[in-house]
Structure 1
Amino acid sequence: MTAPDPQSAAGAPPASGAPEGHADADHATGGHRRNRRAIRDGSEQGRPFVADASAGRRAAAQAGRREAESSSRVAGIGGRVAGIRASAANAGGQASRAGHVVGERVGRPVLRAAQPAWRATSRTVWPVLSPVLTVVSPFGWVVLAAGVAALIAGLSFGWQELLVIAFASFAVLALSVVFVVGRSAYTVKLNLAANRVVVGTRAVGSIVIGNDSARALLPSRIELPVGAGLASFHVPRLVPGASHDDLFGIPTARRAVLNVGPVKSVRGDPLGLLRREIRWTDAIELYVHPRTVRLEGSSAGFIRDLEGQTTKDLSNDDVSFHALREYVAGDDRRNIHWKTSARTGTLMVRQFEETRRSHLALALSTSPADYGDPDEFELAVSSCGSLGIQALIEERDVTVMVQSQTLHTETGRRLLDDLSGIEQRQSRESIVHLAKTAGEAVPNASVAVLLFGASVTPTQMRKASVQLPFGVTVIAVRCQPGAPVGRRMIGELTLLTIGDLTDLAPALRRVNA
């Protein structure tokens, strides 16, 4: 089998002669050259485009790097600025602390060093300025301030009227000085007929004013403070060696501790711009005691017991033997002393000294909630004073308590002095709290007396009696002016109601009945 011709197999046209073959070869060779040239030309023509794209990418990359570098530089600058600010703030804080420390270290020694000088200056200057400044009355200071204000405003705005007001104010103050200058050479004595009076009576006193100088003294005015009030006396012209006395009376409508005095001589102008006072005496205390009544015998409800103290009162049925006496009809036959009766031929009976416990506790409520009106409180104070005085007269120990204090009971006078100054005070402590306090303060008392007004309820009374120690006889005195005398039992508590101070003794006798 004949092998195919490669050219025919490739599809080439049959060679018709040599010239055609060479032409095709040349043509093919020229085509390849043209293709290579085109490729070269294309490559030469494409290089600028490729270079331009690479340059753009490089420029963009460089721009990005520059922007990043700029951002980093800005961030670095911002960080440095923040650091500078923080350093400045830290430096400022340190400077402030340093200044504070320096101020403390420097200022405190300066102040400490200046204090003695300030005190010395005050001690030197104030005694000089005080007599001048205290002479000017509040109204005088107002006139002086108005004059200064009018003077400043008149000079500032050119108002003649304000200048006239200013100079008129200064002129009036200058003329007022004439009324307060000068010296007084008085000798003054303040006397009270009694330093202690019972409420309702009149306290009497006198003021004696003398002139011990070698010249006559012009008329003046004397002032005498009495409690919250003020009494004024006119002193005439006194020649050398002369004296003038004034009597005065102090009404005492209620209990109080009054300060009478000090006596002061007063000089001043008619308008009251200046006022000069000179103190001549000290104050005297005047005690206005509550009204009290005498409680006869054992009407105070005293209890006899085995632990008591003997008294001078004789009894027929106690354990402290005193003496023998003849038999009297009605005497207890168990007290007959048979041996002595057989020897004398007359019935003789033993006689004893009465014994009582040594302590009486009085609890007076000062809470306004326990009273309906002030009259109830005054009646309770008088009842407390009457019971306390009676206990001291019968040589018994007594404790008197209120919510805020324990009163003095060494003598009857001291007890009444303390009762003179007792006032009602707002307090959360009721009669129940007061009874508890009394029980803790006087646990060995035989009798405890609670004094209050009509506002205390039976429930409160029962609670109060429970607060006291077991075995203590509890007596409650309800003070209600105008109420009838009454006695009732509330558990172990004996309640007495009185409408007047004179009802106290009959009411107490009912306790022993």
Structure 2
Amino acid sequence: MSAEAPEAVEAEQAEERAGWAAVLRYVLARGWRGIRVVAAVVRPLGWVLLVAAVALWVLGIAFGWVEVRAIAAILTATLVLCAGFLFGRTSYDVELDLTRTRVVVGERAVGALRLANTGSRAILPSRIVLPVGSGRGVFGIPQLAPEESIEELFAIPTQRRAVLPVGPVSIVRGDPLGLYERIDRRDEPVDLYVHPRTVRLDGQSIGFVRDLEGMETRDLARDDIAFHALSEYQPGDDLRHVHWRSTARTGTLMMRTYEQTRRSHFVIGLSTATADYASPEEFETAISAGGSLGLRAIRDAFHVDVRTPAGPLRAGTGRQLLDSLSGVEHSRARAGRVADLAGAVAAAAPLASVVVLLCGSTADPADLRDAASRLPLGARTLIVVAAADADTGRRRIGETDVLTLATVDDLPRALRKVLG
């Protein structure tokens, strides 16, 4: 017993120390959290006055300066009085309503911010902050009586293609001197899609790839849609495709053979490499051209794929296509230029019916030849070069048409040259 008693006492003391350590950690954590909450509401001017008040109190007491202590007392009273503006209810019911969550670059997105006081007491004046992308709008809200509501209308100008988060709405309470500020975030942010500008292409603009039965290939098959020629019967052939007239004339069982067809698969490859474009305007022209071609292909019931060096984009519908293009950005990676993109497209869609590559004017003829040589065999291929200072034109590299566009408005005319 005497040997076990010291060990039991030591274990009890260790447990007690662990308990006190846990209590100390809890107190410190709560204290630090409280300090952070208090520090978050103090504005820079408030910190200046707070430090000045403490310094003046120390000097006034240390040297017995009555005037300094009086100034310190005034600053302290100001800090205390202004802190009173932080207290009070800000329990608005907030509703953010964007009339349209999708606009074309250059248009204004119009919305409304509705606030209602559903409580039984008045809410003091406050400010409402509405973040929009990297900017923000500020609204002054007057005092609201119980059951009173207010609506603030706003318009968001769009200068460039982007996906802009609008919100969350923040309710700001502060004092008249700007010493303190309390922020209460409400509601959820809403994404505003700023679509690229597109041009409408008529039904014949991509008529060179329109074929409801698919596009013919040079691969022969015993059973398909596009008739090619006659051949002698081979074991296993489907007797439904016997050409009886030729069989009767030759005395040999003759079978129809067909060219294999494939589903109309429209693939758009968009280079995002900074090195492929001379300016941001060329990049926007390429995106607008890709969006215009994709929308026309979707209307014509093609299966549309859009690919960038970073991977595929959603393009199942016109809205998905434009939403995806709204968020496309430049890439500064060395890999991923137009020739690399052509190889990636060929690997991902080897049976594509039509492939369109889009790039800028800094892709030289050697880059374009390399890209054209990597495109899927048997596909109809087109390269669109956005060149801000060039005239609209057309040339060919092997079996590939190359169009040069100064702006997306030139696209319909350039496509007519291909069809002509």
Q: TM-score range by the shorter chain?
A: 0.7 to 0.9
TM-score by length of 1: 0.64
Aligned 8 A contact 1:480 1:498 in 2: yes
Aligned 8 A contact 1:399 1:407 in 2: yes
Q: CA deviation at 1:156?
A: 6.4
2-structure distance, mates of 1:399, 1:285: 24
In the alignment, structure 1 residue 453 sits paired with structure 2 residue 388: no
1-structure distance, mates of 2:287, 2:180: 46
Residue in 1 that maps onto 2:41 = 135
In the alignment, structure 1 residue 212 sits paired with structure 2 residue 118: yes
1:462-473 aligned within 5 A: 462-473=369-380
1:84-163 aligned within 5 A: 128-149=34-55, 151=57
Considering fraction of residues, name the structure with more helix.
1
Residue in 1 that maps onto 2:135 = 229
2-structure distance, mates of 1:443, 1:148: 75
Residue in 1 that maps onto 2:294 = 388
Query: Which of the numbers 152, 171, 175 marks the counterpart of 1:246?
Result: 152
Q: Deviations over 1:264-322 (max 9, x none)?
A: 22111233221011223211111111111222224226447898379xxxxxxx9469x
Query: Which of the numbers 484, 488, 503 marks the counterpart of 2:391?
Result: 484
TM-score by length of 2: 0.77
Q: CA deviation at 1:218?
A: 2.3
Q: CA deviation at 1:416?
A: 0.8
In the alignment, structure 1 residue 270 sits paired with structure 2 residue 176: yes
Equivalent AA in structure 2 for residue 493 of structure 1: T
In the alignment, structure 1 residue 500 sits paired with structure 2 residue 407: yes
Equivalent AA in structure 1 for residue 142 of structure 2: P
Equivalent AA in structure 2 for residue 474 of structure 1: T
**What's the RMSD between the two structures over aligned residues?**
3.4
Aligned 8 A contact 1:362 1:400 in 2: yes
Pick closer, same or farther for the CA change 1:467–1:141 going to 2, 3 Å: farther
SS at match of 1:177: helix
Aligned 8 A contact 1:482 1:500 in 2: no
In the alignment, structure 1 residue 368 sits paired with structure 2 residue 262: no
Query: Which of the numbers 310, 314, 325 marks the counterpart of 1:404?
Result: 310
Q: Deviations over 1:178-237 (max 9, x none)?
A: 221111232221111111111121111011111212222222221111111111112122
In the alignment, structure 1 residue 440 sits paired with structure 2 residue 347: yes
SS at match of 2:313: coil
Equivalent AA in structure 2 for residue 398 of structure 1: V
2-structure distance, mates of 1:119, 1:475: 68
SS at match of 2:95: strand
1-structure distance, mates of 2:309, 2:295: 20
Aligned 8 A contact 2:274 2:331 in 1: yes
Aligned 8 A contact 2:372 2:397 in 1: no
Aligned 8 A contact 1:222 1:232 in 2: yes
Q: Provide the identity percentage.
A: 47
1:228-377 aligned within 5 A: 228-300=134-206, 302-303=208-209, 308=214, 319=225, 357-377=263-283
Aligned 8 A contact 2:342 2:375 in 1: yes
Equivalent AA in structure 2 for residue 438 of structure 1: V
Aligned 8 A contact 1:305 1:357 in 2: no
1:36-75 aligned within 5 A: none
Q: CA deviation at 1:157?
A: 7.2
SS at match of 2:312: coil
Considering fraction of residues, name the structure with more strand.
2
Q: CA deviation at 1:454?
A: 1.5
1:405-420 aligned within 5 A: 405-420=311-326
Larger radius of gyration: 1
SS at match of 1:266: strand
SS at match of 1:481: coil
Pick closer, same or farther for the CA change 1:165–1:192 going to 2, 3 Å: same
Q: CA deviation at 1:425?
A: 2.4
Total equivalences in the alignment: 366
Q: Deviations over 1:124-159 (max 9, x none)?
A: 556655543321224433443454455556666777
SS at match of 1:141: helix
SS at match of 1:279: strand
Q: Deviations over 1:316-349 (max 9, x none)?
A: xx9469xxxxxxxxxxxxxxxxxxxxxxxxxxxx
In the alignment, structure 1 residue 197 sits paired with structure 2 residue 103: yes
Pick closer, same or farther for the CA change 1:300–1:181 going to 2, 3 Å: same
2-structure distance, mates of 1:296, 1:120: 70
Higher RCO (CA-CA < 8 Å; seq separation 6+): 2
Q: CA deviation at 1:262?
A: 1.6
2-structure distance, mates of 1:266, 1:510: 59
2-structure distance, mates of 1:114, 1:511: 83
